[in-house]
Amino acid sequence: QSALTQPPSASGSPGQSVTISCTGTSSDIGGYNFVSWYQQHPGKAPKLMIYEVSKRPSGVPNRFSGSKSGNTASLTVSGLQAEDEADYYCSSYAAKNKVIFGGGTKLTVL
Amino acid sequence: DVQLLQSGGGLVQPGGSLRLSCGASGFTFSTYAMSWVRQAPGTGLEWVASISGSGGSTYSADSVKGRFTISRDNSKNTLYLQMNSLRAEDTAVYYCAKDALMAVLRFQFDNWGQGILVTVSS
């Protein structure tokens, strides 16, 4: 099963909003509401930012939001801050008890 | 606080074996599915294997099937990954991760270990 498709890079100025897309198929994103987003700073473990498409774990700022339409999920970061600069990965439950990740998007805060 | 403390990584020759451990604390270990996720140098995340809370069900990626075995000891709050027939392409940082939802495996990971490097090289 191929990786989910993410843009390799995204950028925005402080205070702006940026949206990162994640495209899959009807066998993963389109078929299930178990889409997650992770933030990873260099040399650190990933951190869960969004689960079940749009839910935020406790402690994640409400500047982070998730959505899904068809086979594409999206992560929106509003009010960009310097500390949001990181790699972001999407993932989705896939058929037959597997999970697939996106290739990652490097978010740069200009 | 949830803590996942990993051990067991290192350098191993191609064809060799290694066992990773992940000690858990701060939650009821037996009620959560657990997984291993790896990240090769400079690349993205790749799911490796998962196990149900009871240990009765296991799942693994095609790339490691037949070579890697995930297991857990709920009496010791510890997750394991036995890696056999290691290849150069298995070189990666390996993370253990806890599922976000209790009692079901939905492959959404809300807590991660610190990561441990496995290098397969002669």
**C-alpha torsion sign, points B91, B94, B99, B103:** positive
- Report the residue from A3, A52, A103 with minimal CB separation from B108: A52
pLDDT of residue B101: 87
Whether the CB-CB separation of B14 and B121 falls below 8 Å is answered with yes
Q: CA-to-CA distance for A46 and B96, rounded, in angstroms?
A: 11
pLDDT digits (tens, 9 = 90+) for B91-106: 999 999 999 988 788 8
pLDDT digits (tens, 9 = 90+) for A82-102: 999 999 999 999 988 899 999
Closest approach of chain A CAs to the CA of B85, in angstroms? 22
Chain B residue numbers with beta carbons less than 8 Å from the beta carbon of A100 are: 47
Q: Is A22's pLDDT higher than 90?
A: yes
* Chain B CB within 8 Å of residue A64 CB: no
Query: What string of DSSP letters covers B34-67?
Result: EEEEEE-TTS-EEEEEEE-SSS--EEE-TTTTTT
Count of CA atoms in the C-beta half-sphere (13 A) of B114? 9
Chain A residue numbers with beta carbons less than 8 Å from the beta carbon of B47 are: 91, 98-101
Average pLDDT, chain B: 96
Report in angstroms the alpha-carbon separations of A19 from A22, A56, B42.
10, 16, 23
* Chain B CB within 8 Å of residue A99 CB: yes
